[in-house]
Structure 1
Amino acid sequence: MQHGPAVRRRKLGAELRALRTSAGLTSGEAAGLVGWHQSKVSRIETGTSGAKPADVRLLLDAYGVADDQLRELLLVLAGSHDGAGRNHWWHAYRGELPPTYRDFISLESQASAMRTLETTVVPGLLQTPEYARAVTAAAVEGLSEERLDALVEVRLARQDVLHADPPLVLSAVLDEAVLRREVGGPGVMSRQLEKLTAAADLPHVRLQVLPFAAGAHIGVTGSFVIFSFARTSDLDVVVLDHLTSSLHLERKEDLEAYTEAFNSLASHALSPEESLEFIAGMTGGT
């Protein structure tokens, strides 16, 4: 279990090592191509030391990596603010966001799929502006109106990944408590439930409700997110979010355990169709 920056170094190093091997190069030969000592390549590949975006570009060029999506992801892992493809909009809010939140957003923006269990609030990608404001104000007391506005703007801007090309594939299991908790009052909650229904109509969004009737389940210990990457499964990561920080789990055993847990929760939850009927019943819809 590690914090974001450390897990990113290890994942970046592992991917660069795999690319070097695929290129048929030893670490010494790779170092010679970019004008480094072999020990620098080794330190980067083991995650002992970080790699600057410029260093990653040199290695990717030496290995003949032309895949723009892969290059972009690796540059993000190296801390690039201006990768080859997407606009890293969240850096405009750098002074407002803690590093762990910026890490989360960058992973979210580059992932091809996201599986999430939520036990307390609606996932950020599916929140209405009013709901996002109420949640943010409650979670971080004493915020000025200006900072609150900025954090809500970030929350809403994150939702663009659901409308990108290609969009993020989102699978969400929501505990019934998420739907019952009146965040912001009845009016705000009613509109939030309507947005969930609308989001579930998107072909790349799968929404399931885990009713109270399901009893105790593996998710009672807390919410989690699993990010997956289409061409680089070794970069998949589980994120456990806490009040003041996030923890990242990237060991194969952790990924397998949380994947199994998510699949188990999904199997005990209502089907997507039944979930929409459940929400409709709460809103008085048909």
Structure 2
Amino acid sequence: MPKDFRATPLERAIGRSLANWRDERGLTLTEVGMRVGFSSAKLSTMENAVQPSAVLDIMALGYVYGVPALEWQKVVLQAQYAERHRAGQRDAEPFDPAADFGHLVFEATSLRAFTTDLVPAVFQLADYTTAVTRVDDPRRGAGLARVRESWSARKRDKDPLTVQAVFPEAVLRQVVGGPRVMKAQLLHLMEVSEHPTVSVRVVPRGAGAYPAMGSPFTLLGFPHRQHNDVAYLETFIKGEYVEDPGLTEQCSHRFASLREMALGEGESLELIAEAAAEL
């Protein structure tokens, strides 16, 4: 393993693919290790992305599992890209962060979201998401739904996902999908804001300029030492992961400043209730 290895989101996606191959066939780590010729401990580190996955090892696993050629070749291409990226080479990435983001949310232990014009994806109701994507890009709907489902699946875990969200008051006043849909969304936001692992804060419209204005981002934290924080940025063109620790630290500082400028949880809840009552 490279010294002080830190897995990229792409390497985590590779590990997730390997784990899915094994799960789909109902095999244990020990059973696969015996068949492929290396230890169950090594396979575990590959699946959990705490070491890089070598191309030959992926090919061996694809053979043992009987994975269709196009499927294992895709993962091999990702591993080859990850290896070149680690060596400092830069070429076109065979990986779509926008499609992967929901999976990464499921693996995270903390999520800090700053949005500028929408309710954070983790808290969106299906009708709200549909109204957003219908006029923008319907293909985004599946990705947004996956993010919502990831949080929903984790909120009652023994190790639940902690969510902190900050957004401007304008998000509450933008009537997405019509009054009925928006009111249901605001009532849902009130409900989830009372969950013990959730913090929702609203920047009031009288606050003036605030940090990261016009630049939404989501910052994810993970339990493994080998997995650095990852910032996720998205436009209507593409999604992008930012992994450089210096840049993710900047996101962290801005998020802390946003929370300081925003109303407290109680006052924010009152503002959400006020907006819902007006619909």
List per-residue Cα deviations over 1:208-240 (Å, max 9, x = no partner).
001111111112131001000123264211111
> Offset of 1:251 from its aligned partner?
1.5
Q: Name the counterpart of 1:41.
A: none
Please give the residue correspondences for 1:110-129 in structure 2 after superposition, counting only pairs within 5 Å. 110-129=107-126
Amino acid at match of 1:181: Q
Find 1:196's aligned residue among 170, 180, 189. Answer: 189
For residues 51 and 98 of structure 2, the distance between their equivalents in structure 1, rounded to whole angstroms, comes to: 14
List per-residue Cα deviations over 1:214-272 (Å, max 9, x = no partner).
11111213100100012326421111111121222212211211110000000000001
Change (3 A) 1:209 1:77: farther
Find 1:230's aligned residue among 197, 213, 223. Answer: 223
Change (3 A) 1:221 1:201: same
Q: Name the counterpart of 2:3.
A: 17
Checking the alignment, whether the CA contact within 8 Å between 1:225 and 1:239 is kept in structure 2 is yes
| Structure 2 length-normalised TM | 0.66
Change (3 A) 1:50 1:178: closer
For residues 271 and 225 of structure 1, the distance between their equivalents in structure 2, rounded to whole angstroms, comes to: 20
SS across alignment from 1:232:
coil
2:212 counterpart of 1:215:
no
SS across alignment from 1:208:
strand
For residues 104 and 226 of structure 2, the distance between their equivalents in structure 1, rounded to whole angstroms, comes to: 13
Q: Name the counterpart of 2:62.
A: none
Find 2:271's aligned residue among 252, 274, 278. Answer: 278
For residues 253 and 168 of structure 2, the distance between their equivalents in structure 1, rounded to whole angstroms, comes to: 17
For residues 266 and 152 of structure 1, the distance between their equivalents in structure 2, rounded to whole angstroms, comes to: 24
SS across alignment from 2:176:
coil
Find 1:267's aligned residue among 235, 243, 260. Answer: 260
For residues 269 and 130 of structure 1, the distance between their equivalents in structure 2, rounded to whole angstroms, comes to: 27
For residues 257 and 117 of structure 2, the distance between their equivalents in structure 1, rounded to whole angstroms, comes to: 19
Structure 1: state its 5+ residue gaps. Answer: 1-12, 20-44, 81-90, 92-97
Change (3 A) 1:71 1:163: farther
List per-residue Cα deviations over 1:75-114 (Å, max 9, x = no partner).
7996x9xxxxxxxxxx9xxxxxx82222212211101100
Please give the residue correspondences for 1:243-254 in structure 2 after superposition, counting only pairs within 5 Å. 243-254=236-247
2:147 counterpart of 1:172:
no
For residues 137 and 281 of structure 1, the distance between their equivalents in structure 2, rounded to whole angstroms, comes to: 27
For residues 181 and 46 of structure 1, the distance between their equivalents in structure 2, rounded to whole angstroms, comes to: 39
2:71 counterpart of 1:74:
no
Checking the alignment, whether the CA contact within 8 Å between 1:113 and 1:169 is kept in structure 2 is yes
Change (3 A) 1:125 1:251: same
Q: Percent identity?
A: 27
| Count of residues in correspondence between the two structures | 221
Change (3 A) 1:134 1:65: same
> Offset of 1:179 from its aligned partner?
0.9
Checking the alignment, whether the CA contact within 8 Å between 1:137 and 1:148 is kept in structure 2 is no
Find 2:152's aligned residue among 157, 160, 174. Answer: 160
List per-residue Cα deviations over 1:166-205 (Å, max 9, x = no partner).
2211000011111111100111111110000000111001
Structure 2: state its 5+ residue gaps. Answer: 20-28, 59-70, 72-94
2:104 counterpart of 1:107:
yes
Could you tell which deviates more after superposition, 114-123 or 158-167? 158-167
> Offset of 1:156 from its aligned partner?
4.5
For residues 77 and 183 of structure 1, the distance between their equivalents in structure 2, rounded to whole angstroms, comes to: 43
For residues 175 and 245 of structure 2, the distance between their equivalents in structure 1, rounded to whole angstroms, comes to: 38
